[in-house]
Copies of this chain bind each other. A is one copy, B any other.
């Protein structure tokens, strides 16, 4: 019975792995590398490689050392070379070399060539196993070739001339709609978008974003096809790029990864921290202007973090929503009056709500009507300013030709701190008779 159950479990497993390699990869990633390797060791190799291709490269690299040598050889040989190179890039040179020595010289040569391209460049992201077609082939001849057993059909065919120069593209959709006697040259579309092997990922994402082609060919100096970046890679690149905004906002570099070296992080973040420091001194200078007031009423110092916290958060909300609107092209900078007006009203209404709670809290704590009034007024004021500033910062950055994300959070915090402290300590000074 136990045998039966485990057979069923195994069959289910196999079915799951076959139909859902990506979902299976996600589950394997939850396990310790040793346990994941134990499962992969028992899997037939046809099922193994699709799963490995879907593992995150850093995780695949940590699982590989625990696989049997025979399995490793299969994996390195049969895995999509682009995915394999990403895994090898996660290892130190010595370890990668050891794995490459396990496989045939042909595969080793192919992988070594790909590894020459820096990470996140066209050459590194492309699928090199793409065969260009002569434009003089007829549709019928082409379909026949695609029908050869074991042939890996791709969603787009690339057409070259006799000089092996890339001259066009034919999607399968066009191919099946064409008449059998037509030539590829007759039905091909132009290749107006392509990249060179050293093009950085950012540039590739920008191209994809601009044209949304399903694939981007990588082309050599002679105009020859070196490989193709397929849509799944492009989707991943888009996702990486979209999430990089979060990092740019706070002055961490777009290239930094969670597992980057600490020194890399320091080198990239330090300049922005230094700039942030200057702006923090600016906020401190505002507080310094009111040092006498604070010496008389230390309660003001106690409440400074409340004002800074609320206007900071209000501004950050407006910033996030506006930046995203620009990123997904819901708005352009031309929409600024509408967006600013919305954030102004949202800041005011949110300010009233927050003001109510703050006044209650401050009155219970201080029993001072004067202090309560001061923080109430300044809360509404500073939250309106914060909302408007949050909407304006990314729009202004775009207008002056900058990436709207770049250090936007640092710039915004300066504004919200300075204006928050000014409104709070300024109101307190004006109304000091009531304190």
A residues lining the B interface (CB < 8 Å): 19-20, 22-23, 26, 29-30, 32, 54, 56, 58-59, 143, 146-147, 151, 153-155, 172-179, 190, 192, 210-212, 214, 231-232, 235-236, 238-240, 242-247, 249-252, 256-263, 265-266, 269-270, 272-274, 276-277, 279-281, 283-284, 287-288, 291, 294-295, 298-299, 301-306, 308-310, 312-314, 316-317, 319-332, 334-335, 338-339, 342-343, 345-346, 349-350, 353-354, 357-358, 361, 409-410, 413, 417, 421
Name the residue on B nearest A32 (C-beta). Answer: B334
Tell me which residues across on chain B come within 8 A of A319, comparing CB atoms: 250
* Bound Cα distance A172, B329 (Å): 32
Given contacts A258-B321, A266-B350, contact A312 B413 (CB under 8 A): yes
* Bound Cα distance A299, B393 (Å): 31
Q: Give chain B nearest CB distance to A44 CB in angstroms.
A: 19
Interface of A is mostly: helix
Identify which of B238, B263, B346 contacts A238 (C-beta below 8 A).
B238
| Docked-complex contact B346 and A262, CB < 8 angstroms | yes
Q: Give chain B nearest CB distance to A13 CB in angstroms.
A: 15
Tell me which residues across on chain B come within 8 A of A343, comparing CB atoms: 262, 265
Chain B CB within 10 A, most for which of A151, A320, A342 = A320
| Docked-complex contact B265 and A417, CB < 8 angstroms | no
Tell me which residues across on chain B come within 8 A of A295, comparing CB atoms: 295, 298
| Docked-complex contact A283 and B298, CB < 8 angstroms | no
| Docked-complex contact A325 and B259, CB < 8 angstroms | yes
| Docked-complex contact A146 and B258, CB < 8 angstroms | no
Identify which of B147, B257, B328 contacts A179 (C-beta below 8 A).
B147
| Docked-complex contact B177 and A273, CB < 8 angstroms | no
Tell me which residues across on chain B come within 8 A of A350, comparing CB atoms: 266, 269-270, 273
Q: Give chain B nearest CB distance to A128 CB in angstroms.
A: 19
Please give me the 6 A-B residue pairs with the lowest Cβ-Cβ distance, nearest first: A258-B325, A280-B309, A301-B301, A242-B242, A262-B345, A250-B316
Name the residue on B nearest A317 (C-beta). Answer: B252
| Docked-complex contact A146 and B176, CB < 8 angstroms | yes
Name the residue on B nearest A248 (C-beta). Answer: B320
* Bound Cα distance A420, B46 (Å): 55
Q: Give chain B nearest CB distance to A418 CB in angstroms.
A: 9
Q: Give chain B nearest CB distance to A155 CB in angstroms.
A: 6
Q: Taking A269-B314, A301-B301 as given, write out 6 further A-B residue pairs in contact, using a Cβ cutoff of 8 Å, ordered by the A residue number.
A: A250-B320, A257-B321, A277-B309, A277-B361, A283-B309, A284-B306
* Bound Cα distance A362, B339 (Å): 40
| Docked-complex contact A310 and B256, CB < 8 angstroms | no
| Docked-complex contact B273 and A354, CB < 8 angstroms | yes
| Docked-complex contact A304 and B306, CB < 8 angstroms | no
* Bound Cα distance A408, B177 (Å): 51
Name the residue on B nearest A325 (C-beta). Answer: B258
Q: Give chain B nearest CB distance to A55 CB in angstroms.
A: 9
Identify which of B232, B357, B409 contacts A277 (C-beta below 8 A).
B357
* Bound Cα distance A269, B352 (Å): 13
Q: Give chain B nearest CB distance to A259 CB in angstroms.
A: 6
Tell me which residues across on chain B come within 8 A of A212, comparing CB atoms: 22, 54, 232, 235
Q: Give chain B nearest CB distance to A11 CB in angstroms.
A: 15
Given contacts A146-B177, A192-B19, A350-B266, contact A251 B317 (CB under 8 A): yes
Tell me which residues across on chain B come within 8 A of A30, comparing CB atoms: 332, 334
Given contacts A155-B155, A270-B353, A346-B265, contact A332 B243 (CB under 8 A): no
Q: Can you list 13 A-B pairs with a CB-CB distance of less than 8 A? A: A29-B329, A146-B177, A243-B243, A246-B246, A246-B323, A259-B330, A265-B321, A277-B354, A277-B357, A277-B358, A277-B361, A284-B303, A309-B413
